[in-house]
Chains A and B, each alone.
Chain A
Amino acid sequence: MSCCCEKKDPNQEAVDAVLAKYKGTKGALIPVLQQCQDIYGYMPKECMAQISKGLNIPLSEIFGVVTFYAQFHLNPRGRNIIRCCLGTACHVRGGAKIFERVQKVTGVKDGETTEDLRYTLESVACIGACGLAPVIMVNDDTHGRLTPDKIPDILAQYE
């Protein structure tokens, strides 16, 4: 319970602002979750509780939505998100080898985050850059026509 004399955490205030923006909007839950995840970098329990109150949606329903969509994360994530495409086009052009090398370089497996929070590694089904297969995405940058040997240099660019 927060007390009135306590100063609110700036993140909580930001969440309040998002909630205020969507007050009374139909179907607000997913955009609210997306914007709140941008604030925290992941979906903390407290934040979901705040959203539940703000939108008057049961906690269990919010948890159900958060765990349904791949975009939402219950745990803190790395500063850089590596998305390895394992879509069909990348698959037939050696995407698995690229993925293997990325795992080797970062030392983490699919869905994991490095201890120093530098990288989070994810496999994705298709990022729609099939013409340049195999591809990976680091944050919002797409890197295409890859060979395993190009991986270390690409990843090194991201601190």
Chain B
Amino acid sequence: MSNVNLTINGQKVSVPAGITIQEAAEQIGAFIPTFCFDKDLTAPGACRICVVEVAGMRNLPASCVTAVAEGMVVQTESPVVVEARKMILELLVANHPLDCMTCEKGGNCRLQDYAYRYGVTGGAFVGEKHEYLPDSTNPYVYRDLNKCILCGKCVATCNAVSERGVINFAFRGFNTRIATFMDADLKDSECVYCNRCVAVCPVGALVDKNMMGKGRIWDLEQKQVTCTFCESGCNFNVNYRDGKVVGVTAANAAAGRPLCLKGRLGINFMQNPDCIEKPLLKKDGEFVAVTWEEALGIAPILEKLKVINK
């Protein structure tokens, strides 16, 4: 495909036609914040945090859904852009619990990161805040809609699995929220706790309940593993704290494939205090630790093999 030439923050760039301003900015390392945009999932152009200034355009377009054009002159961090982002963050924060000090997502939250970057402290608006009861009735997902910024990624990922679609946007306007059928708790819905929604949530609205209180992002070390419970081979993050495994969380899921509960719960077997490291054999009415060779009754065979090998 042909290239188009444009200027981003004064820098001339040549990028493939058809890509978005946001992708073009990424190529030259210009920062653009995003909430609702996910390369593999969805680009509804809804959150508006990624707006940029384009010379000649009346409004500030959302860079995640606006295609580059020949000769475009883009500013990603001009004063009007910063003012708009600040205001959008103020609006989001005005309707968000300011409990970052105890929030599980602290340090791993886009809202927090961007508020820090743009100096948004909250308090610009004093008005109604949502007071939804958090959904903690199931053992796997802790859902606090008061923290939700309605980016819609959870809806997109849930609906990417055929026959699923447990959650969707419901109600409208200021009362819009992500809901299951009849706005029921997850435990009363068709949710199977695959936690792919938790994996994509940019804020603390969806949290892996098994990880609660076990440390925040800076306390943990993560290693991605491929699950071996079935042939799907999903990706999981194993979380270590001080060298010990504290939990398995869902990593980004490929479209159409659920991350099942079994994979994430495998951790419980690893940490089971009753877990035995050596096989036991009943000798004189009592279990005694023995070698695998002895337990499996293959010691004589092994001996013979050794002889043959020599």
Contact = CB atoms under 8 A, between A and B. Distances in A.
Interface in A55-87: 58-64, 67-68
B156 to A, nearest CB: 13
B168 A61 contact: yes
Contact of B165 (A45, A48, A61): A61
Contacts of B172: 67-68
A88 B161 CA distance: 46
A4 to B, nearest CB: 25
A127 to B, nearest CB: 20
Interface in B143-182: 159, 164-172, 179-182
Interface in B273-306: none
Nearest to B158: A60
B181 to A, nearest CB: 4
Contact of B167 (A60, A62, A68): A60
Interface in A80-100: none
B121 to A, nearest CB: 34
Nearest to A68: B172
Contacts of B190: 59
Given A45-B182, A48-B181, A60 B165 contact: yes
A45 to B, nearest CB: 6
B113 interface: no
A68 B172 CA distance: 5
In the complex, which of the residues A60, A62, A63, A64 has the most CB atoms of chain B within 10 Å of its own CB atom?
A: A60
Interface string B230-250: 000000000000000000000
Contacts of A67: 170-172, 179
B179 A63 contact: yes
A147 B169 CA distance: 41
B183 interface: yes
Contacts, number: 42
Nearest to B159: A58
Contacts of B182: 45, 63
A109 B180 CA distance: 28
A45 B182 CA distance: 8
A81 B50 CA distance: 45
A59 B181 contact: yes
B183 A63 contact: yes
Contacts of B181: 48, 59-60, 62-63
A145 B207 CA distance: 56
B171 A68 contact: yes
Nearest to A61: B168
Contacts of A48: 181
Contacts of A59: 165, 180-181, 190
B5 to A, nearest CB: 42
Nearest to A59: B181
Interface in A118-134: none
Interface of A: 45, 48, 58-64, 67-68
Interface of B: 159, 164-172, 179-183, 189-190
6 contacts: A58-B165, A60-B165, A60-B168, A63-B182, A64-B170, A67-B170
Given A60-B181, A63-B168, A67-B172, 4 more contacts: A58-B164, A59-B165, A60-B166, A60-B189
